[in-house]
Amino acid sequence: FGSSHLDSSLTPCPGNSVCWHFKAPPPRMSPMPRLATSAALAAGLASQLVAPATAGGLVRLTVQRFAAAQVKPEGRSESLAAAFGAGGLGAAASLHAASLSGEQDIALANQHDFVYFGDVEVGTPAQTFKVVFDTGSSNLWVASKPRGLQVAQRPYYRPRASHTYEATGTPFHIEYGSGKVSGAYCQDDVALGQLKLPNFTFAEVNDTKALKNFDTSKFDGVLGLGFPRLSQDGVPTVMGALVKSGQLDEPVFGFYLASGQPGQLVLGGVDPDHYTGDFHFVNVSRPAYWAVDLDKVRLGGFLNMSVTPVAIVDSGTSLLVGPERDVQVLATMMGATQSFQGFYMVDCNQTVPSIAFTLGGKEYVLEMADLVVEKADGWCVLGMQGSPMGMWILGDVFMRKYYVQFDWGRQRVGFAKAAPGPAAP
């Protein structure tokens, strides 16, 4: 989702802390189509919430992850295209909440490293929905039941079941690379664990027909974590409202994304168990997206491999996405072959040089093991893709290697080496 209406000009599309623990997100190969899910790769994954447990002030809802379905070699390109390309938003995670020393901790499980999402509660009494946490957009929306639908295949927001619901009558539209959704703004109580936003304005979406693969996805909406400038129609953002309400210890949030392991989103702070060393901070150059200045890109011993000075850090994009020319040159030098679906593949036994991005004078290196998102028949699919947008998007492939602190108050991004940390219960 992250980059709704992303373009090279970066024009926008119109105390307590909270943590989400998730199991590695699904890579989305295209920054624009980030809203699709892979039926083949996701079909065998599910999440199950178990009764909450308490220990030392910590409350947890345990998430269980099922094994992914196998994909036949002959269907590999199509399944990868569905997962990463034609719709990159991926599918699948669940959440558990916890509270410890003034911190609210919410954990997510991910679906096959394709997308991260967790629970948000809406209405009174609360209705629970799975939303994608997306730093590349700024609006909150959840799906409501489309007119004429007789049998619901997913949880839908039921406004009439909430006695705190208020309609506004104002239409809502937002477009992503993989399609668009529409509905209307409303007001209702919203909760993220122990964090409460009464009478919050968000969108109830009843038209998702143009959003590719939404009907088969595991998420019910999107919670944008971008800046207010990106917000459709200028409505308040969740992060902005939380900061204004004084419920957060600090106006920051931190992402830890692990491959196949529990990950975490913290609202109001960071988790020292999931990074090593100190954070290196880079100022946001355009406070709409989380965009930072890109000094250079290095492949092996070759420097200045990029034509763009901008990189966007985006939890809603599964892969590394760069200017088409940059990516083509890098892939050729890596000895990669491009499939008809647009993915770059290398022989898994081949030695591939590392890619390094220099941000704020510090280099961040990705080795081949960090870049591979899928393996089949001795071939490794690299988690990078070209785009005509003319900028780099540092998606989940990058964020699994580096813990990212998004400093809302100071408008900066901090990077530290990610560490597995203690296993989630």
Residues 338-384 have pLDDT tens digits of 886 778 999 999 999 999 999 999 999 999 999 998 888 899 999 99
Distance CA 311, CA 279 (A): 18
Q: Which two tokens stand for residue 417?
A: 């080496």
Bigger pLDDT: 270 vs 376: 270
Q: What is the overall mean pLDDT for the chain?
A: 75
Looking at the predicted structure, is the pLDDT value of residue 99 above 60? Answer: no
Q: Which residue has the higher pLDDT, 392 or 30?
A: 392
d(CA 313, CA 149): 38
So what's the pLDDT on residue 41? 25
What is the domain partition of the chain in residue ranges? 17-272, 277-418
Q: What is the CATH number of domain 277-418?
A: 2.40.70.10
- Count, residues in the chain: 425
Any idea of the CA torsion for 171, 408, 252, 104, to the nearest 10 degrees? -20
Q: What is the 3-state secondary structure (H, E, C) of the chain?
A: CCCCCCCCCCCCCCCEEEEECCECCCCCCCCCCCCCCCHHHHCCCCEEECCCEEECCEEECCEEECCCCCCCHHHHHHHHHHHHHCCCCCCCCCEEEEEECCEEEEEECCCCCCCCEEEEEECCCCEEEEEEEECCCCCEEEEECCCCCCCCCCCCECHHHCCCCEEEEEEEEEEECCEEEEEEEEEEEEEECCEEEEEEEEEEEEECCCCCCHHHCCCCEEEECCCHHHCHHHCCCHHHHHHHHCCECCCEEEEECCCCCECEEEECCCCHHHEEEEEEEEEEEEECEEEEEEEEEEECCECCCCCCCEEEECCCCCCEEEEHHHHHHHHHHCCCEECCCCCEEEECCCCCCCEEEEECCEEEEECHHHHEEEEECCEEEECEEEECCCCEEECHHHHCCEEEEEECCCCEEEEEEECCCCCCC
Backbone angles phi, psi at 181, to 5 degrees: -135, 160
- Please provide residue 187's backbone torsions phi and psi, each rounded to the nearest 5 degrees: -130, 135
pLDDT of residue 1: 53
Superfamily of domain 17-272 in the CATH hierarchy: Acid Proteases (2.40.70.10)
Q: State how beta strands 275-287 and 17-20 pair.
A: unpaired
The dihedral formed by the CA atoms of 283, 284, 290 and 295, expressed in degrees to the nearest 10: -70
178 pLDDT band (50/70/90 cuts)?
confident
Mean pLDDT is lowest, of 8-12, 14-18, 200-204, 404-408, for 8-12
- State the Cα–Cα distance between residues 238 and 224, nearest whole angstrom: 8
Question: Does pLDDT of 13 surpass 50?
Answer: no
| Active site residue ranges | 134, 314
For residue 262, the model assigns a pLDDT of 64
The model's pTM is: 0.79
Q: How confident is the model at residue 263 (pLDDT cuts 50, 70, 90)?
A: confident
Domain 17-272 and domain 277-418 have a common topology: yes
User: Where is pLDDT greater, at 335 or 113?
Assistant: 335
Looking at residue 147, its pLDDT comes to 66
Least confident of 152-156, 226-230, 391-395: 152-156
Burial of 82 (0-12, 13-18, 19+ CB in 10 A): buried
The pLDDT assigned to 94 comes to 22
Taking only the tens place, the pLDDT of each residue in 52-93 is 232 222 212 222 222 232 222 233 334 444 444 323 332 222
Contact 352, 334 (CB under 8 A): yes
